[in-house]
Amino acid sequence: MTLLPEIYILSFSVLFLFLSLGKGRRSLFVPARVLAVGGVAAALFSLNAEGLLFVGAYRVDGFSQIFKLVLTIGLALVIFMFNKEDEVEKMPEFFMFLGLSTLGLSILVSSVELISILISLEISSFSLYAIVPLRRTKTTAHLEAAIKYLFFGAISTGIMLYGMGYLYGMAHSTYLADIVAQMPSFGDRPLAILAIILTMSAFFFKLSLFPLHFWAPDIYEGASDATTAFIATVPKVAGAALLIRLTMLAGLPLTQLTMLLMVLAAFSMTLGNLVGLVQQDLKRLVAYSGIAHAGYLMLGLLSFNKAGNAAVAYYITVYLIMNLALFYVMMLLSRNGENLKIADLGGLARRAPLLAFTLAVAAFSLAGIPPTGGFTGKFFLFVTAFRAGHLPIVIIAAVNTVISVFYYLNLVRISYSREIKDETPLRLSFSEKALCWLFSLAIILLGLLPLNVLEMFSQVM
């Protein structure tokens, strides 16, 4: 029971590994979806599991189990959204790598020791490096994006290793609890702050936080829609979870570290939103939106308390849902797997009213307009940062929210405009309609009834 989610996801990947050895071509969507739902069930069954494994390097507790549930839900939603045989090459391998990446992320949220953090992060990252070039309609630019992802990912890992080496040198331990316990004796040294920032750089890379954001637009544009939907959401949940774990262990803020995180948050929000204003490619726009949202997440971490951490956990969950909703609209509209321009949304409401509605709900939520989950999540983040005395960053975040409204609402304006680029009605199947309604209702319910979810996260912080 303690390792049920990890064992199940590993079995999921091994099964598709064996399927990849076969020569026959068969549709794998049904078994993948059934098995993905099983992963969610396994995570649910092990919600109350607890234990310390591998000499204390691996901690199973309420915190890790709830994030494993969110990760498996993310994996299941991506697999349900993916329904085009010709979008990626080597379908069994694609599902296998999705499973392995989720396995690495699940191990990551339970890791409380530097080496286990490094290994789990690499399991997840190498799987993603492998699936980016699997796009069937790839061009030279798409292959270049895949190489960039591998190259920048390797650099971020190297930087993280430098930071871990410094931390070990100062604390003489690789366990996070030991490092944090000794932090008061060396935490005010510039080298300690540098070591912490270098160690956190890999998670900043996952979250695409400034200045480690540069990979996101090219990778989003170069990968297939299903791959991008996964990369843009699920790894960010684990990245946020480990940053929360670090702040939970730290307990008290370090002044220099807080100031640095505040500066990174401000630059991330401002750069993401300003550059997002001029984007014409939808996936590049989502990439810059993700950079801005990484900055918003930092507001909760800056408070270094339970309320702030719960706000971050709540917001990253909402972000997973609203971002996947936006990607699902793109995937259904792009029947041949090509990248969409914003102009391609023209007249969407007349071609497919439900798709336009789902897009509008996702865009309103990303912009932070009530009564959506995005509004409630931003409200919690802003309040926790304000109560912690970080008024300047709250003002910067509020100004950035206003800027972002322009490009999010532009998507809704164009989809409900009379300018139709393609008049062919877009017919959705029953399952596609059901998933659209699921995303829309989840975003609205998370906005209207947030307290139960917030309380659930608060109890495990």
360-411 per-position pLDDT tens digit: 999 999 999 999 999 999 999 999 999 988 999 999 999 999 999 999 999 9
pLDDT for 254: 66
Closest of 190, 179, 27, 144 to residue 95, by C-alpha: 27
Residues 6+ apart with CB under 8 A from 108: 117, 120, 121, 124, 238, 241, 242
360's tokens: 């509008």
The CA distance from 161 to 425, in Å, is 53
The CA distance from 75 to 78, in Å, is 5
Q: Which is more confidently placed, 180 or 251?
A: 180
In terms of phi and psi (left: phi > 0; alpha: psi -120 to 50; beta: otherwise), the region of 368 is left
232's tokens: 């843009």
For strand 51-53 and strand 58-60, is the pairing parallel, antiparallel, or unpaired? antiparallel
The CA distance from 450 to 307, in Å, is 14
The CA distance from 213 to 20, in Å, is 34
Spatial contact of 290 and 206, defined as CB atoms under 8 Å apart = no
- Does the pLDDT value for residue 249 go beyond 90? no
Sign of CA dihedral 417, 422, 425, 430: negative
Helix axes 91-110, 62-81, angle to 10 degrees: 160
> pLDDT over 70 for what percent of the chain?
96
- The listed range with the strongest mean pLDDT (5-14, 22-31, 148-157, 338-347) is 5-14
Q: Which is more confidently placed, 217 or 1?
A: 217
The CA distance from 318 to 366, in Å, is 9
Q: How does pLDDT run across 139-190, given as a tens digit for each residue?
A: 777 778 888 888 888 888 899 998 899 889 888 899 988 888 887 777 667 7
pLDDT for 398: 94
Banded pLDDT at 301 (limits 50, 70, 90): confident
Banded pLDDT at 9 (limits 50, 70, 90): very high
Residues 6+ apart with CB under 8 A from 367: 374, 401, 404, 405, 408, 409
DSSP tag of 111: B
- Does the pLDDT value for residue 230 go beyond 90? yes
- Does the pLDDT value for residue 24 go beyond 70? no
- Does the pLDDT value for residue 359 go beyond 80? yes
| Mean pLDDT, range 123-151, rounded to an integer | 83
110's tokens: 């339970």
- Does the pLDDT value for residue 218 go beyond 80? yes
